[in-house]
Amino acid sequence: MKFCRICNIEKPLIKFATRKSAKDGRRNECKLCTNKKHKMYRDTPEQKKKKKERRKKTYCVEYYRIYRKNNIQKIRKSANKWAKNNKEYRSHMQKKREVLKRQSSLYGYEDEIKNIYINRPPGHHVDHIIPLNHKDVCRLHVPWNLQYLPAIENLKKSNKLCQ
């Protein structure tokens, strides 16, 4: 049993969240009070605004997904047009990427990597967890740096390092 610092009610230890650094391994506030505190924090205007923005962002992604679904012909057409007008640039980028992959490969993992690409679930891209193109980190085109990511997530991620 332990007294909660906030509501001053004696409660069994299980009603307190764990905290490794504490003597008894539990927080000084009961779970109920912690929840209340968090709820109060979430209800501040600042946090409400943040929440709204987050929602707006996901809405945008969803909106684009639907737009894409309904206008796939139009989008394909303009993508093809772009590709036609930028043939040289495209082949330049493709070559650059191939060279990058070759430079980043480790000898002996070709088959494993090939399998990762072959077993890719539909609608997913093979993503480099640490981007191949990132300037600060060593480039790795190796099995343990590959993961499946829904296509849209991969496009969003681009070359950013994950948080």
Element (H, E) at 34: helix 31-42
Choice between 7 and 130, CB closer to Zn ion: 7
Residues facing residue 128 across a β-bridge: 146
* d(C-alpha 33, C-alpha 57), whole Å: 32
**Smallest distance, Zn ion to C-beta of residue 21, A:** 20
Confirm if 159 and 133 have CB atoms less than 8 A apart. Answer: yes
4 lies in the site for Zn ion, by CB under 5 A:
yes
Q: With H, G, I as helix, E, B as strand and everything else as coil, classify residue 88.
A: helix
Interaction residues for Zn ion, span 79-108 (CB under 5 A): none
**Smallest distance, Zn ion to C-beta of residue 2, A:** 10
Q: With H, G, I as helix, E, B as strand and everything else as coil, classify residue 127.
A: strand
7 lies in the site for Zn ion, by CB under 5 A:
yes
**Smallest distance, Zn ion to C-beta of residue 11, A:** 7
Q: Which of 75, 86, 89, 97 is nearest to 159 (CA)?
A: 97
Interaction residues for Zn ion, span 107-136 (CB under 5 A): none
Interaction residues for Zn ion, span 18-57 (CB under 5 A): 30, 33
**Smallest distance, Zn ion to C-beta of residue 22, A:** 15
